[in-house]
Chain A
């Protein structure tokens, strides 16, 4: 293989990873909320949006590091308030009712932000330490010549990997995670063992919102910050959840990478790029109707 081809491939993969990771952070919240509470949360894109707007304001007034700390906390609180104040009354209702109420919520958030900040994109400058490009050829031995990648996009990939790693650790290696995983498989039995699983599931909703907030802080400069971005992010993230299998965390992660790569490798053919994620969804769902790692009986 020629050096140019290796360079191009490497950049495509890196771009795909960056696209996939931002969807993954939104999709993980979506799939966790669905897997625990059984709710399809169409307001999840709006949580990303709120995260991004909060980040712009806090970064502008106090500095970026404050945004990194405060925005996830704010979103966690918003998530808990949303779950306790509204969503919990819809657990026993049909999925269509849940979709209507969360979709309605997304529209309210979008219109409210439009009312306050206007419909246009508001500037969200990357902090000075995240600006510029990284000379990848200086660090990666098999690259030749001159290969560069925007520094902020690399930071986004790293942050996503840390967030996703932390989430996996929480779910796989802590007691809280054990209870959540058990509750996802048989919530009633977990209740029979004396655990108030509903309260812990509410925390999961907050956790999903928190991750969407982190995605908003770091993804905002790339996706831009305008009221329409919420829906723009929600649709591919929702496809990620469906392709990965409703309620599956590992499935969402794999699907996010697959979609990111599909988008990256079709970037030169914009007409194909427009439809590629739907094409992938169709192919996966035709061959595996429950998604890559979906479980029997979920959403059927």
Chain B
């Protein structure tokens, strides 16, 4: 990869304060295969960042690394959230520190009801919205509370996956392909939910194949290529820049 397109130095907040969220030169591996190759970027409090790139650029792996999943294994680099060193934590501790991953394929837990999926999210401290608050915001989930969650439609499962994250005290929301496999009409519905999440001021990183949808929601964009940050800038700028779109996003 050429130096000219390499990441611009990550910007720090005005006044030189520590960023709310930062990954610094993180390297992560699936077994011996080197997937995340020195990614660095920062996110300000309340900001939404779209993490973009072609298939295999390392987007999902980067999110999973931030959430401190067992795989890919983080071998070096630092991850900081609100002053806490996520890179030193196991998965459940990172989650308790406020990272909340809404994974690809939603990962609704099978064999239990909608409500039980929400209860499981509220076992560990610190909690976010109460189940009553969630039902107020998502009446559809209230209707289906006793249904086995995995039998709901894809859109409803995605709604539950987002609600489950809000049931925790979320400081950094990681959305992995929230529109994947959903019909266009349902995508609109999920988009409006995510705009509502945005209005709550929750700091968010969104990974999405549908880059335009992600950019319309996001304040800023970080583009990954071959496991590294290739571009970082305003979301609007990427939307308007055909060269960038051709080179990294093929849209």
Contacts and interface: CB of A to CB of B under 8 A. Distances in A.
Contacts, number: 64
A259 to B, nearest CB: 26
A95 interface: no
A203 to B, nearest CB: 14
A178 B168 contact: no
A179 B92 CA distance: 13
A186 B92 contact: no
A191 to B, nearest CB: 4
Nearest to B174: A192
B218 interface: no
B92 A195 contact: yes
Interface of A: 175, 178-179, 181-182, 185-186, 188-197
B149 to A, nearest CB: 11
A246 to B, nearest CB: 16
Most buried by B among A179, A181, A185, A192: A192
Contact of B70 (A188, A190, A193): A188
Nearest to A186: B109
Given A185-B109, A186-B110, A193 B168 contact: yes
B220 interface: no
Given A182-B120, A195-B124, A189 B96 contact: no
Nearest to B117: A182
Tell me whether chain A's interface is mostly helix, strand or loop, or mixed: helix
Contacts of A185: 109-112
B70 to A, nearest CB: 7
B109 A192 contact: no
Most buried by B among A175, A188, A194: A194
A196 B109 CA distance: 16
Interface string B35-76: 000000000000000000000000000000001011000000
Contacts of A175: 119, 123
Interface of B: 67, 69-70, 90-92, 95-96, 100-101, 103, 107, 109-112, 116, 119-121, 123-125, 164, 168
Most buried by A among B103, B107, B123: B123
B123 A195 contact: yes
A179 B123 contact: yes
B100 A192 contact: yes
A24 to B, nearest CB: 22
A112 to B, nearest CB: 35
8 contacts: A175-B123, A179-B123, A181-B112, A182-B120, A186-B110, A193-B121, A193-B123, A195-B124
Contacts of B96: 194
B232 to A, nearest CB: 26
Contact of B116 (A178, A191, A197): A178
B116 A193 contact: no
B106 to A, nearest CB: 9
Most buried by A among B95, B96, B116, B168: B95
Please provide the 6 A-B residue pairs with the shortest distance between their CB atoms, ordered closest to farther. Answer: A194-B124, A194-B95, A191-B91, A189-B107, A194-B96, A196-B92
A211 B103 CA distance: 37
Given A192-B101, A193-B124, A181 B111 contact: yes
Nearest to A195: B124
Given A189-B109, A193-B121, 19 more contacts: A175-B123, A178-B112, A182-B112, A186-B107, A188-B91, A189-B103, A190-B109, A191-B91, A191-B92, A191-B95, A193-B95, A193-B120, A193-B123, A194-B95, A194-B125, A194-B168, A195-B124, A196-B90, A196-B124
A178 B120 contact: yes
B69 A188 contact: yes
Contacts of B123: 175, 179, 193-195
Nearest to A193: B121
Contact of B119 (A178, A191, A194, A197): A178
A281 to B, nearest CB: 26
B66 to A, nearest CB: 11
A192 B69 CA distance: 8
B84 to A, nearest CB: 14
Nearest to B110: A185
A179 to B, nearest CB: 6
A93 to B, nearest CB: 15
